[in-house]
């Protein structure tokens, strides 16, 4: 899933300082699972912002709605009835995709309340970790199911570099060296000889190219 | 003796079977070239070639290629270090063409220290290709006369003597020799190792290298680093990734009346020992911020005068 984290409340307050009435939009997708932008977090952020503005003698009115997903026009449409003329600003608690889908649909000032971090998963309650760099051409079958693109600090395809020591990456003692993990796993699977092959240079045009990447599936399109 | 692939003096001396000595110059954090010229004057009769580091530890410095131009002007043989941290495949190849046009004949390909160690930790790193792929690229430019994309170089292809690094002190230890083999397969002509303090581990590494016959396919220059003080030794032990400094060395530095002289003494002993290891074709002396000491070390190790 997409992992996100709330911006500091003071930062969000600053983004909406000129607004009297804001529409706060949560998302029921990934950011609900990672406890950053679901219904609960939307309520908490709204009340925190209202309290802050109360203290400043400049009351703020909030309307709170949580959509099933903000990355799908089908659900975004359901927001139409809340986007009234008196709304000065929309605060989205979705990932950057949701923020943009709202901005594309409404001629309003839309601001993000979260910092979108990465594609990852839960490693333990309250801790999430990155697993995929969305490179567009998955090579996990060559590295024993461990991604060197995002888990190696240098995205080395023929690792490990000289900085790997005691299983840790040179960058930090808290970070496992991805290539030590790959080595251990390939050894356990009896596939060490695969690591002797020189991995070719990567086609990064699949990862980030001119403008947004697209996936088109004509078979499921409704004309 | 094999046919020379390049005009490199380093290649020639290695082919002649000489025990070579290379040194290292860290370019300055300013735009003046006089310090480099001064170091070249100091070193050029005592080392066969000198490395110019490439923004080492991710700290902005005068570029290694520009530094190499100063080395050439002062009559030295430069080895440019080239990391894949800051440049993509377009910039790397372009700089290789440029360096060759200036007269540079040796390049050392490496990953580069992560930017978080340097003075611009918020920089975006590049890592478009990795160090092994850079070795392959430099070989392709030379032997196939082709750019990485496959396009032919019609004339004046850059013919570099290709270096890579090996760290016998990194982990997983068992894989270090295999990764060296990958570098040789990719096209490395010579190797410079990480600074050696743990001689036992290096001996083990070399035994594995010989077992796979790699010493016959690539020239291995063993890295040494004279220590200036016990503080420097401790720093290397604790804070430099991929280094092992055994306690006896720390103790020797601690007990020394004149730590600098002791540092030189240890380094000279190491060089003499390294000369006895089969498959070691030379030494690479990294005297970080202490380049002036290199001539003394070379003389004390009995490696002076140098061949022409
Ligand atoms: S190889 Fe690419 S697609 Fe596969 S996990 Fe890594 S970044 Fe994601
Ligand atoms: S230490 Fe390991 S994870 Fe870190 S940059 Fe080197 S190879 Fe990658």
ipTM: 0.94
CB-closest option in B132, B148, B242 to A158: B132
- Residue B241: the pLDDT is 81
In percent, how much of chain B has pLDDT > 70? 100
- Residue B1: the pLDDT is 59
Contact B130/A198, CB-based, under 8 Å? Answer: no
Domain membership of residue B3 (yes or no) is no
Decide if pLDDT at A186 tops 90.
yes
Cβ–Cβ contact A122 with B under 8 A: no
Query: Ligand 1 centroid vs B2 CA: distance in angstroms?
Result: 43
- Residue B255: the pLDDT is 94
**Predicted confidence band of residue B242 (pLDDT cuts 50, 70, 90):** confident
In the DSSP assignment, the letter for residue B57 is G
Average pLDDT over residues B207-229: 98
- Residue A209: the pLDDT is 73
Q: Which atom of ligand 1 is nearest to the CA of A136?
A: 3
Q: How many CB atoms lie within 10 A of CB A212?
A: 7
Task: State pLDDT tens for residues A123-182.
Answer: 999 999 999 999 999 999 999 999 999 999 999 999 999 999 999 999 999 999 999 999
Domain membership of residue B108 (yes or no) is yes
**Predicted confidence band of residue A197 (pLDDT cuts 50, 70, 90):** very high
The boundaries of every CATH 3.40.50.2300 domain in chain A are 2-118
Average pLDDT over residues B41-56: 97
Nearest chain B residue to A156 by CA distance is: B130
Which site among B81, B116, B127 would you substitute to test the A interface, given the most A Cβ atoms closer than 10 Å to its Cβ? B127
Ligand at shortest distance from the CA of A152: 2
**Residue whose CA is at the smallest distance from ligand 1 atom 4:** A138
Query: Ligand 2 centroid vs B146 CA: distance in angstroms?
Result: 30
User: Taking CB atoms and an 8 Å cutoff, what residues of chain B touch A154?
Assistant: 85, 111-112, 114, 125, 127, 130
| Mean pLDDT of the residues in chain B | 97
Question: What gap in Å lies between CA B111 and CA A148, rounded to an integer?
Answer: 14
Task: State pLDDT tens for residues A46-95.
Answer: 999 999 999 999 999 999 999 999 999 999 999 999 999 999 999 999 99
Task: State pLDDT tens for residues A9-56.
Answer: 999 999 999 999 999 999 999 999 999 999 999 999 999 999 999 999
The gap between the terminal CA atoms of chain A, to the nearest Å, is: 29
- Residue A37: the pLDDT is 98
Q: Residue B63: which domain range? A: 9-300
Question: What gap in Å lies between CA A165 and CA B181, rounded to an integer?
Answer: 20
Residues with beta carbon inside 6 Å of ligand 2?
A 152-154, 156, 159-161, 163-164, 169-171, 177-179
Which site among A143, A144, A153, A154 would you substitute to test the B interface, given the most B Cβ atoms closer than 10 Å to its Cβ? A154
CATH no. for residue B296?
3.20.20.220
Fold of A2-118: Rossmann fold (3.40.50)
β-strands A109-112, A61-67: how paired?
unpaired
- Residue A222: the pLDDT is 84
Average pLDDT over residues B206-235: 97
Rounded to the nearest 10 degrees, the angle between the axes of helix B259-274 and helix B247-255 is: 140
Domain count, chain B: 1
């Amino acid at each position: 899933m997409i992992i996100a984290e709330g911006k500091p409340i003071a930062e969000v307050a600053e983004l909406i300082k000129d607004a009297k009435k804001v529409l706060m939009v949560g998302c029921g997708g990934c950011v609900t699972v990672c406890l950053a932008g679901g219904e609960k977090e939307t309520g908490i952020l709204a009340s925190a912002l209202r309290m802050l503005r109360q203290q400043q003698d400049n009351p703020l009115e909030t309307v709170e709605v949580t959509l099933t997903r903000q990355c799908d026009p089908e659900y975004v449409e359901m927001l139409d009835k809340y986007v009234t003329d008196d709304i000065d600003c929309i605060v989205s608690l979705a990932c950057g995709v949701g923020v943009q889908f709202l901005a594309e649909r409404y001629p309003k000032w839309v601001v993000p309340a979260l910092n979108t971090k990465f594609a990852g998963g839960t490693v333990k309650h309250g801790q999430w970790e990155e697993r995929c760099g969305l490179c567009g051409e998955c090579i996990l079958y060559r590295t024993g199911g461990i991604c060197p693109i995002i888990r190696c600090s240098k995205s080395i395809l023929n690792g490990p570099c000289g900085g790997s020591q005691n299983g840790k990456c040179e960058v930090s003692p808290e970070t496992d060296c991805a290539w030590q993990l790959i080595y251990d796993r390939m050894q356990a699977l009896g596939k060490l000889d695969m690591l002797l092959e020189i991995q070719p240079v990567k086609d990064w045009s699949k990862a980030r190219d001119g403008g947004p990447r697209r996936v088109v599936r004509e078979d499921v399109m409704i004309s | 003796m094999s046919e020379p692939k390049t005009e490199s003096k380093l290649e020639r001396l290695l082919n002649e079977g000489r025990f070579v000595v290379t040194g290292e110059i860290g370019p300055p954090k300013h735009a003046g070239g006089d310090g480099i010229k001064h170091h070249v004057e100091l070193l050029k009769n005592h080392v066969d070639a000198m490395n110019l580091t490439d923004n080492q530890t991710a700290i902005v410095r005068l570029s290694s290629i520009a530094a190499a131009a100063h080395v050439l002007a002062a009559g030295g043989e430069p080895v440019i270090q080239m990391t894949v941290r800051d440049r993509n495949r377009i910039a790397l190849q372009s700089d290789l063409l440029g360096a060759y046009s200036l007269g540079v004949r040796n390049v050392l390909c490496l990953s580069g220290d992560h930017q978080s160690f340097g003075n611009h930790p918020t920089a975006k790193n590049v890592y478009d290709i990795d160090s092994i792929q850079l070795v392959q690229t430099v070989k392709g430019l030379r032997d196939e006369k082709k750019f990485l994309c496959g396009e032919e170089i019609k004339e004046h292809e850059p013919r570099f003597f290709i270096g890579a690094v090996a760290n016998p002190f990194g982990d997983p230890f068992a894989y270090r020799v295999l990764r060296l083999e990958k570098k040789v397969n990719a096209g490395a002509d010579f190797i410079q190792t990480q600074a050696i303090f743990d001689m036992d581990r290096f001996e083990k590494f070399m035994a594995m290298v010989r077992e796979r016959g790699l010493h016959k396919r690539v020239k291995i220059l063993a890295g040494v680093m004279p220590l200036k003080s016990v503080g420097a030794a401790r720093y290397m032990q604790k804070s430099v990734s991929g280094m092992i400094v055994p306690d006896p060395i720390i103790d020797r530095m601690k007990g020394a009346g004149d730590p600098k002289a002791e540092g030189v003494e240890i380094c000279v002993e190491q060089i003499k020992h390294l000369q006895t290891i089969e498959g070691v074709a030379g030494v690479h002396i990294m005297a970080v911020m202490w380049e002036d000491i290199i001539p003394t070390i070379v003389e004390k190790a009995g490696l002076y005068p140098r061949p022409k």
